Structure 1
Amino acid sequence: MARIGVDVGGTNTDLVLECTKGVFYHKVPTTLKNQSIGVVDGVQGICRMAGIAPSEVDTIVHGTTTATNITIEHNGAECGMITTEGFRDILHIGRHKRPYNFSLHFDVPWQSQPLVKRRNRVSVAERILPPTGEIATPLDEQAVRTACALFKKRGINSVVIGFMFAFLNDAHERRAKDIVLEEMPGAYITLSSEVAKVMREYERFSTAAMNSYVGPKTAFYLRDLDSRLREAGVTSKLRIMQSNGGVSTVDACAKRPIRILMSGPAGGVIGGASEGAMAGEANIITVDIGGTSADISTIPAGAVKIMNPRDTYVSGHPVLTPMIDLVTIGAGGGSVAFIDEAGAFHVGPRSAGSEPGPACYGRGGTEPTVTDAQIVLGRLDPDMALGGDLKLDASLSWKAIEDKIARPMGMTVKEAALGIIRIINNNMALAIRSNSVARGVDPREFSIMPFGGAGPLHGVALAEAMACKDVIVPVAPGITAAVGLLKTDLQYEHTEAVIVELKTASDADFARINAAVTTLHDRVQAELDSDGIARDAQSITVIAECRYHGQGFELRATMPEDPVTASNVQVIVDSFHDQHQQDYGYSYRKAEVELITLRAIGSAAVRRIEIPMIARTDGSSIDRALMFVRPTTFDDGRTLETPRYDRTKLFAGDRVPGPALLHQHNATTLVPPGYVAETLDYGNTRIRQIGA
């Protein structure tokens, strides 16, 4: 039985394969015009490496940035929206929040880059009333048909249907969907009650709009990939990584692509948490640095955090879907260094990507990047990139930095290259602080875990900037996100709005809560059943999302194991108080607590990839792994003769003193002077100051 994890980044596509012959790693360039081409090439390549046929692969788990890239590049589908009369402009008005309170010049993404243009938002007569969901005004079905005629005239084939209080009664949305399918067969349709059956009309409408905006292209990509894999002889199940850290099916993600907006980075966080456990470290700050971006997440006590719904924004638009708590910034090996009109020195967020890529790639790129700076400083060896598979031209790196940075700023090329590295490291350190210190986490109690193709070159500098205790480098840093894909479970989530004041709840209220729990349980179970998961392998948990009366946002609370009654409702209330105390440092134990939403999470455990332990050191010299010695420039400006070691030839317990570079196919690890790198049991590495 063979399994493959595939993570597609902005520059490279990373793969890991586990089979009876062992664990294999592979990296190929991302094909930006159609990512599925690179994925299929990578799958075929790694199967050849392992000596197996593609037909022997049982499961492929895929982390993709397709949906994310659509939101970043603003090239989603032209959408039409049908909404309640009088509420056409909710997507424009939003919450009247100022993104930057004291700025007179700021962008409001939901207005400057609307998911649905105003001329394509059509209101129709209908009205459902809270709190029971009774119908006050029937749906004007002819108005829905008229809206469809307008959409067809404008060539629109992606439709959002969002009605007021549809989370209490979705009858009008479902009827409108039937009409749209009659008038526009084959249209991509999103109901707000299907993707976010929760309170708050703006966030619900925005979530539905985002789903239709990214839906057609994402669905095409996923189904095209599935088809290409089958043409290549791969008959396995294709699973997609979701933003919440679980995996799902192609069909489920094609219908609800908002579930995979953070698909790519999520695999890295899962992989980082697992690598931390392998190294015996529970407190980890992961820094996944690829060619285009850096994804940062704080994992306290080994627990991956889910972001509060109030913070789940994608490209400035609120999206009510569970996401792993992480920060993404434009900082990667391909980040471009430039001087702006005022003479200021910047690095990123723009990236050279894989085409044309950094100047050293020799593909026509002329702008200096972080990768070019690493080459100029001798931290990357041009003849050793991807184990020698990718030939780089150091002279092009030197020329790009000299022409674009050094000469205009009156400095040497090495000074300019060091400046590029210091700026990008500072940018990442600020992002790490926003995800740790700003949330009450003390980095001194954490290990930095750098991965991604560029990560281990920056690990020690980031640890110094954050005063972290040490650096843990994973077994295969450039493939860690792909490895994480084979360490996660199948997972589905559904919600049901049930608004009840728990302290004064009646028997009828408890009956509503318990009926909603049953509905959610059956809905999640049906998805797991359709995925072929045996009942005894299914795990379904229902949680309550509560708030203090009138509070703006909810927190998750534990539900009692038995049906909710007056005798056990205090379990929910106490759990909410405890969570509020943990998150905010205070709670009001006597205040009224409102239940707002019930959420069911269904999962099925899958077999985890098993990384084999390596041999213990026999006491022999680490010279067995020595490759060659070359000059390298470090952050303090010193250029030292620095040995290069083959990381795969080091044994558990081997200690490599800095300065040194540890080479492997998918990444290079920098060990500065004054530090020592110790190889751990699984081939992972701990870097700490000598004497620490």
Structure 2
Amino acid sequence: MARIGVDVGGTNTDLVLECGQGVFYHKVPTTLKNQSIGVVEGVRGICRKAGIDPAEVEMIVHGTTTATNITIEHNGSECGMITTHGFRDILHIGRHKRPCNFSLHFDVPWQSQPLVKRRNRIAVRERILPPTGEIAEPLDEQAVRDACALFRKRGIGSVVIGFMFAFLNDAHERRAKEIVLEEMPDAYVTLSSEVANVMREYERFSTAAMNSYVGPKTARYLRDLDARLREAGVTSKLRIMQSNGGVSTVDACARRPIRILMSGPAGGVIGGASEGEMAGTPNIITVDIGGTSADVSTIPGGAVKIMNPRDTYVSGHPVLTPMIDLVTIGAGGGSVAHIDEAGAFHVGPRSAGSEPGPACYGRGGTEPTVTDAQIVLGRLDPDMALGGDLKLDPALSFKAVEERIARPLGMSVKDAALGIIRIVNNNMALAIRSNSVARGIDPREFSIMPFGGAGPLHGVALAEAMSARDVIVPVAPGITAAVGLLKTDLQYEHTEAVIVELMKAGPAEFQRINTAVANLRAAVQAELDGDGIPRAQQEITVLAECRYHGQGFELRATMPEGPVGAENRHVITDSFHDQHQQDYGYSYRDAEVELITLRAIGSASVPRIEIPKIAPTDGSSIDRALMFVRPTTFDDGRTLETPRYDRGRLMAGDQVPGPAILHQHNATTLVPPGYVAETLDYGNTRIRPIGA
């Protein structure tokens, strides 16, 4: 069985292939104008490397940044919205919470970059009442048709439908969708009750609006990729990585692209957790450093964390969809170093990407980047990038750093390059602190795991900044996110709002809960059935999202086995109290617990990629892996003659003392003086201070 994982980044597209001949890695430049072109070329290339025909590939799992990039670049579809009369400005008002409470000069993203412009938000008469969902005022169907006429006139083809209390009764939203499709057969339509069937109208409307904003372009990309792969002779199943760490089908993600807003970074976190398990190190802080961004996630005890729904913001807009807990900042190999108008020295968040790329690429870029600084310091060998496949020009790097940074600041080129590295490392250290120390996690009990094409060059510096235990470098750092794609399961989620005070519940309330559970199980089962998963391989878990009465947000709690009743409701309440104690340090065991939402998660295990162990050391000298020696400048400013080793020729148990650089096709690992790099069983590497 041949399977491929493809992770598309801002600079490179990374691929891993597992087949009968073994595990193969490949990296090609990302084609920014149409990412599917680079993906298809990469698939062809890795198949040639493995000596197999593309038709032999049975599954491709894809991590994409298409939807994410739309939100960053603010170039989504022009949307129209049909909403309840009197609530046209919900998307503009938002919540009382503001980014900077005490500033008069701050940006409010949902107002400065609205997902739906006010003139395109049309209010119609209809009213559904809580708490039962009864219809108080029927839907004004003519008003919906009039809104469609206006949308057609304005050339709008993406429509959001969000009505008040639709999570209690979605009849009006479903009828409005029928009318829209009658009037606008080609429209991309999103119902708030389909993408976020939960309470809180602002977050529900925002989620639906985001789905329609990114939907048309994302759907076109996914279907175009599927078609191009088939034209290239790849008839395999195409699966897409979701933000929650599971994979889904092209059709499901095309309908609900909000599920894949963090598709790319999620694969890296899954891959990092697996690499930690291989190294026997459960406490990991992953730092995925690519060409454009750095993604940080804390994995305590080997368990990948899901973000609390109150924190799931994308480009400043709340999106109620499960996401792996991570922090993303604009810090990568392509991050541009610049001096602002006030003379301050910055690195990022703007990136040179792959076109034109860093100055050393020779593609027209003239601004210095982190990659250029690494070349000036001798940490990257220009003739060894991507195993020699990518030729870099060190003179262009030197010129860019000198002209744009060193000369204006009156410093040497070496000091300017060191400054670039120190600034970007500090930016990443701040992101790590926000995902660890700020959440009660002590980095001294964790290992830093740097990956991505640029990651292992920064690993030790980040470990020093965070006082981490050591550094674990994955087997194929530049391809770790792609490897993670082949270590995850199919997964679908559905929610239903069921608002019940559990300790006061009677037979009628328990009947509502149990009916909702049955409906949710049927919904996720239908999706798994549609994906061809046998019932015996399906796993369905139902969770209760609860809060104390009057509390602002919910926490997840365990549901009892079998129907919920007076005799077992304590399973939910006890679990909620325990979770509240764990998250906040206190709980109120005698307080009323309110069930708000039921969530069903359906999953199916798929075969995991198996990384083979490497041969143990035979006692011979590590000189067997020695390539050459070149001068390299380290963070303390010293320039030392530094040996380069072929990482692929090191055996399990080999120890390489610093200063040293470990070369492989997809990444370069820096081992500073005073550290030693030990090769582990699978070819991964542990870097620690000598004597530690």
TM-score by length of 1: 1.00
Aligned residue for 1:466? 466
Secondary structure in 2 aligned to 1:512?
helix
Structure 1 counterpart SS, 2:363: coil
Instruction: Tell me the equivalent position of 1:572.
Output: 572
**Any residues of structure 2 matched to 1:637-652 within 5 Å, and which?**
637-652=637-652
> 1:467-498: CA deviations, max 9, x gaps?
00000000000000000000000000000000
Deviation string 1:67-108 (CA, Å, 9 cap, x unpaired) is 000000000000000000000000000002210122221100
1-side partners of 2:566 and 2:385: how far apart?
65
User: Structure 1 residue 51 and structure 2 residue 51: aligned?
Assistant: yes
Matches within 5 A, 1:77-226: 77-226=77-226
Aligned-pair CA distance for 1:310: 0.1
| Map of 1:334 onto structure 2 | 334
* Pairing 1:398-413 to 2, within 5 Å after superposition: 398-413=398-413
Q: Which amino acid aligns with 1:678?
A: E
Separation (CA, whole Å) in 2 of partners of 1:291 and 1:113? 26
Secondary structure at 2:91 match in 1? helix
Distance 1:289 1:512 in 2: 47
Distance 1:323 1:556 in 2: 14
SS of corresponding position for 1:245: coil
Cα distance in 1, alignment partners of residues 375 and 350 from structure 2: 20
* 1:243-322 alignment runs, 5 A limit: 243-322=243-322
Is 1:559 the counterpart of 2:559? The answer is yes
CA distance in 1, matches of 2:73, 2:626: 45
- The corresponding residue for 1:76 is 76
Helix, strand or coil for the counterpart of 1:323?
coil
Segments ≥4 residues shifted beyond 4 Å: none
User: What is the CA–CA distance in structure 1 between the aligned matches of 2:341 and 2:523, rounded to whole Å?
Assistant: 56
Cα distance, 1:522 vs structure 2: 0.2
Counterpart Cα distance in 1 of 2:460 and 2:440 = 23
1:595 alignment counterpart: 595
DSSP-derived class of the 2:104 partner: coil
Q: CA RMSD in A?
A: 0.3
Distance 1:496 1:103 in 2: 38
Query: Could you tell me how far 1:438 is from its partner in structure 2?
Result: 0.2
Distance 1:418 1:342 in 2: 21
**Correspondence for 2:686:** 686
The whole-number CA distance in structure 2 between the counterparts of 1:266 and 1:206 is 22
Gaps spanning 5+ residues in structure 1: where? Answer: none
Report the AA paired with residue 599 of structure 1: R
Q: Which amino acid aligns with 1:647?
A: R
Which residues in structure 2 correspond to 1:16-27 (within 5 Å)? 16-27=16-27
Secondary structure, aligned partner of 1:77: coil
User: What is the alpha-carbon distance in structure 2 between the residues aligned to residue 653 and residue 239 of structure 1?
Assistant: 37
Q: CA deviation at 1:562?
A: 1.2
Question: SS of the residue aligned with 2:156?
Answer: coil
- Counterpart of 1:295 in 2: which secondary structure? strand
| Distance in structure 1 (CA, Å) of the matches to 2:386 and 2:100 | 43
**2:589 is the counterpart of 1:614:** no
- The whole-number CA distance in structure 2 between the counterparts of 1:97 and 1:508 is 37
CA distance in 2: counterparts of 1:184 and 1:423, whole angstroms: 52
- Structure 1 residues 111-148: Cα deviation after superposition (integer angstroms, max 9, x where no partner): 00000000000000000000000000000000000000
Partner in structure 2 of residue 507 of structure 1: 507
Deviations 1:367-414 (A, max 9, x none): 000000000000000000000000000000000000000000000000
Opposite residue 347 of structure 2, the aligned amino acid is V
Alignment of 1:639-678 (within 5 A): 639-678=639-678
Residue pairs, 1:232-251, within 5 angstroms: 232-251=232-251
Shift of 1:160: 0.1
Q: Please give the alpha-carbon distance, in whole angstroms, between the structure 2 residues aligned to 1:429 and 1:368.
A: 22
Is 1:527 aligned with 2:555? Answer: no
Q: Hey, what's the Cα distance between the residues in 2 that align with 1:679 and 1:103? A: 51
In the TM superposition, what whole-angstrom CA distance separates every residue of 1:266-315 from its partner, at most 9, and x where no partner exists?
Answer: 00000000000000000000000000000000000000000000000000
Query: What CA distance in whole angstroms lies between the structure 2 residues aligned with 1:524 and 1:421?
Result: 47
Q: TM-score, normalised by structure 2?
A: 1.00
Deviations 1:572-628 (A, max 9, x none): 000000000000000000110000000000000000000000000000000000000
Inter-partner Cα distance in structure 2 for 1:53 and 1:629: 40
User: Counterparts of 1:608 and 1:139 in 2: how far apart (Å)?
Assistant: 50
Question: What is the DSSP-based 3-state SS (H/G/I as helix, E as strand, rest coil) of the residue aligned with 2:599?
Answer: strand
- 1:632 correspondence with 2:632: yes
Partners of 1:225 and 1:105 lie apart in 2 by 43
> Aligned partner of 2:223: which letter?
R
Aligned twin of 1:374:
374
Q: Aligned letter for 2:15?
A: L
Residue 41 of structure 1, CA deviation: 0.2
Q: Percent identity?
A: 88
| Pair 1:477 & 2:477 matched | yes
Alpha-carbon distance between aligned partners in 2 of 1:530 and 1:334, rounded to the nearest angstrom: 42
**Counterpart residue type for residue 42 of structure 1:** G
Q: Distance in 2 between matches of 1:344 and 1:427?
A: 15
Match of 1:29 in 2: 29
How many residues align structurally?
692
Cα-to-partner distance string for 1:427-483 (whole Å, 9 max, x where unaligned): 000000000000000000000000000000000000000000000000000000000
Deviation for aligned residue 1:564: 0.2
User: CA–CA distance in 1 between the matches of 2:286 and 2:563?
Assistant: 40
After the TM superposition, which of the residue ranges 93-102 and 516-525 deviates more from structure 2? 93-102
Supply the AA of the counterpart residue of 2:432. I
**Partner SS, residue 616 of structure 2:** coil
Question: In 2, Cα distance between the equivalents of 1:313 and 1:103?
Answer: 21
- Residue 111 of structure 2 aligns to a residue whose secondary structure is helix
Distance of 1:558 and 1:422 partners within structure 2: 45
Residue pairs, 1:335-354, within 5 angstroms: 335-354=335-354
CA–CA distance in structure 2, aligned partners of residues 208 and 196 of structure 1: 7
Distance in 2 between residues matched to 1:226 and 1:96, nearest whole Å: 43
Letter in 1 for 2:600: A
Q: 2:263 is matched by which residue type in structure 1?
A: S
Separation (CA, whole Å) in 1 of partners of 2:572 and 2:507:
16
Structure 2 gaps, min length 5: none
The one-letter code of the counterpart of 1:568 is N
Q: Which residue is 1:396 aligned to?
A: 396
Separation (CA, whole Å) in 1 of partners of 2:469 and 2:171: 56
How far, CA to CA, are the matches of 1:101 and 1:440 in structure 2?
A: 24
In structure 2, how many angstroms separate the alpha carbons of the residues matched to 1:476 and 1:188? Answer: 40
Q: What amino acid is the match of 2:405?
A: I
Aligned to 2:516: 516
Opposite residue 508 of structure 1, the aligned amino acid is A
Amino acid at match of 1:183: E
Q: In structure 1, what is the Cα distance between the partners aligned to 2:430 and 2:541?
A: 36
Question: C-alpha distance in 2, partners of 1:637/1:105?
Answer: 41
Shift of 1:186: 1.2
